[in-house]
Structure formats: C-alpha cells, structure tokens
Chains A and B, each alone.
Chain A
Amino acid sequence: MEKTVEKTLVIQRYNPEQDQRPSQQRYQVPFDNSTSVLDALLYIQQSLDPSLAFRWSCRMAICGSCSVMVNGIPKLGCKTFLREYSGDLLLEPLAHFATEKDLVSDMTLFLQHLQAVKPYLIRQEQSAATTPATKPQPHKQTPKQLAKYRKFSSCINCGLCYAACPQFGLNPEFLGPAALTLAQRYNLDNRDQGKAERMPQLNGKNGVWGCTFVGFCSDVCPKHLDPAAAVNQGKVASATDFVIGLFKP
C-alpha cells in the first residue's frame, strides 16, 4: 500500500442564514495522482463536513457544473488535479458572480445573457404547420460550412470565462464571452437566419463593444474554443453592420 499523502484545502465558506460575509475553513484531504478537486470536495462532504455546499454532476468536463476558483483561477473541479499544486489549494466560488452558499454561485445573470443572444437556430421559412402540403426539408450543411463555426460550438456553459473576464466583473450588464461566442457561432451557421435578430444585442455597448480583448477567457476555457477571438470577430461583424446601417434609412 502506498503511504497516504495529505493536502490542505482552504475553502471559502458562506452560509447566508448565519454569516455576514464569507470566511475560510481548512481541510486535510488524502490524495493520490488521480484525485481531482471535485473528488476532494466529495471526500470532505462525505467524510469530514456534510454542510459543505458545491455543484457537480458529470465528473467528465461536459456538464459545466463544478466550476470553482482554484488559487484565484477559474477551473472545472473535475478537470483539475491536486497533484498539479505544490502547496495548499484555495477554493472559492466563481469570481464576478454572487455567492449563494459556500462554492455555489448565482448564475442567473449568465443565463439571462445567454438567452439575450438567442443561441439557437432561427429559420424565417413558414413552418410545416402553416403549409402542410410541403414536407419540411432537412437543412443541409457541407463540411466546409460546418468548419466555419465548429470551433465555437463546444461551449458547456460552465461560466469560467465570466469569472476570468474583468469587463464582466466591472460591468455585469456586459453580455460576456460565452453569450457573445454563442451569438457568433449561430451567426456563422449557414442553416441559421437569425443574425438580424441577434445583431442589435451585439451592437450595444454591453454587446461586443464591452470587450477590451483581455483574452484571459480563452486561457481558462476548458473546451479551448477561444471566446476572445469569437467576441472580436463579432466586433468586425458589428462594425460592418454599423457601416451598412449608415446607408439604410
């Protein structure tokens, strides 16, 4: 048997029913090469302190629930391993969001911003209900057309990019990296016809123009989909839309 090695996790605690402000609590957690931050949190909850609150679900970096700040950097708990850190780990809830309890953040703003850009395929054509004579046709897409937006399509809505974005921290009205990336993803999709509905959101000061290309969002994105590039490509699209707008009544 391997000797048990322990690591110290310093976790920000906040109980809205008792605490005025968050405080920190230390836990000793045994770990090996395969212990993730999420595993450590589950160990604490099951063996040391059942009152610790945090979100999690899939344990394989696809649900985007277990986002936390590890030593000040936004991370997915399931994709971050204790072995990567030489000293203690400081775990805090996502920056720039309000904390509900312990490591659980209030993601309402994030979801509202996602909703604002209509991140789904929009078709202008009549639906099958209005013209029952014509059967709905599948929307075809070539590999080349797929490649145009594919790199922006793997967002898991984990919110790490918002915790990395100082512009969202400074101005919570800023639509933020993930929402603007999704807007760009659908605007680039040849099956979509909703660009005209999305552009007004992008054109505002809280749309693409709230971004100053800090670029940290792309660094922390667990799916490497370069949100900073998507947002700034959105600036080109918005600037083009601006020029077109000058010539339209």
Chain B
Amino acid sequence: MSEQHSPRRPYLAPLTASWWLKHRYYRFYMLREATVLPLLFFCGCLIAGFYSLQQGEQSWLNWLSFMAQPWVMALNALTFAASLFHAKTFFELFPRVMPLLPAPLMIAGQWLGTIAVAALLLLLLGGVL
C-alpha cells in the first residue's frame, strides 16, 4: 500500500482525566453530576430512619437526635442546596428531551410540583392538616 510512504502522521493530543477542569461549562456539568453525592448521604439517613422506625420508639428517638446533630444538619443543608441546583438543571433539560408544551410552561409546572410537595409536608408536619 502507498500508506507506507505517506507523509501523513496525524497527531492526537491525549485527553487527560482532568479535561473537565479546563472549561467553565465542563465544571458546571461535573457539579451537576456531583449533586448525587450529598443525595446518597440523605438516602442513607432515610434508610436508617426506616430501620429505626421498625426497631421501636427509643431507636426512633435516637434517629431524630442523629438528624439534629450539627454535622448531619450541615450535610443535609448542602444536600438541600444540591437538590435545588439539580431541580433547576433537570427541569430545564426536560422540555428539550420531551417538547410537549412551551418550555417556560413546563419548567414552571415542575417548580410548582416541588413547591406543592414542600407545602404539603409543611402543612402536614406543622399540624395544620
């Protein structure tokens, strides 16, 4: 083949594992993906909650005091921020994946859902319902 004598010698720069640090857009993507890390912590808390609930009242009280520990609350505050950031990105992606209605309408509808769940829980736990 003539390829043997070809002066072609294409150079491919290797993609390093730190590619995502090089651009603002990629860092934003990685931050979005990283929202699941604090989520895993909260899921762990909830699994422990279900465990203690079936173990008895003392176990449940222990879980409640665990949830009130400053470091747990700090991590859950971080998870709360992560969940809102995730919600913003997720709600904006949804109308692009399934363009059923005008995008602003779909985004507003989804936020309404989040607010409704929070309001319902507040009313329920606040003793109003």
Answer yes or no: do A and B interact: yes
| B23 and A16 contacting across the interface, CB-CB below 8 Å | no
Please classify how large the interface on chain B is, using the bins under 10, 10 to 19, 20 to 34, 35 or more: 20 to 34
Across-interface contacts of B10 in A (CB, < 8 A): 16, 98-100, 106
Assembly CA distance A214 to B28 (angstroms):
9
Contact residue among B8, B9, B12, B25 (Cβ-Cβ distance under 8 Å from A216):
B25
Q: Nearest chain-B residue to A234 (Cβ)?
A: B97
- Size of the A side of the interface (Cβ < 8 Å), in residues, is 30
Cβ contacts A62-87/B at 8 Å (1 or 0 each): 00000000001100000000000000
Cβ contacts B11-24/A at 8 Å (1 or 0 each): 11101000110110
Contact residue among B7, B8, B22, B97 (Cβ-Cβ distance under 8 Å from A229):
B97
A-side residues, CB < 8 A to B, are 14, 16-17, 21-22, 72-73, 95-100, 106, 166, 169-170, 212-216, 219, 226, 228-229, 232-233, 235-236
Across-interface contacts of A17 in B (CB, < 8 A): 7, 9
Across-interface contacts of B22 in A (CB, < 8 A): 72
| A73 and B23 contacting across the interface, CB-CB below 8 Å | yes
Across-interface contacts of A100 in B (CB, < 8 A): 8, 10
30 A-B pairs (CB sep. < 8 Å): A16-B10, A16-B11, A17-B7, A17-B9, A21-B11, A22-B13, A73-B23, A95-B13, A96-B15, A97-B12, A99-B11, A166-B19, A166-B26, A170-B15, A212-B33, A214-B25, A214-B26, A214-B29, A215-B29, A216-B23, A216-B26, A219-B25, A228-B96, A232-B93, A232-B96, A232-B97, A233-B96, A233-B98, A235-B97, A236-B98
Assembly CA distance A213 to B26 (angstroms):
11
Assembly CA distance A233 to B96 (angstroms):
8
Across-interface contacts of B13 in A (CB, < 8 A): 22, 95, 99
Q: Which 5 A-B pairs have the closest CB atoms?
A: A98-B10, A16-B9, A229-B96, A98-B12, A232-B97
Assembly CA distance A229 to B20 (angstroms):
21
Q: Nearest chain-A residue to B25 (Cβ)?
A: A216
Known: A22-B13, A214-B25. 17 other contacts (CB 8 A): A17-B7, A17-B9, A22-B11, A72-B22, A73-B23, A96-B15, A98-B10, A99-B13, A100-B10, A106-B10, A166-B15, A166-B19, A166-B26, A214-B26, A215-B29, A232-B96, A233-B97
Across-interface contacts of B98 in A (CB, < 8 A): 233, 236
Across-interface contacts of A166 in B (CB, < 8 A): 15, 19-20, 26
Assembly CA distance A219 to B96 (angstroms):
14
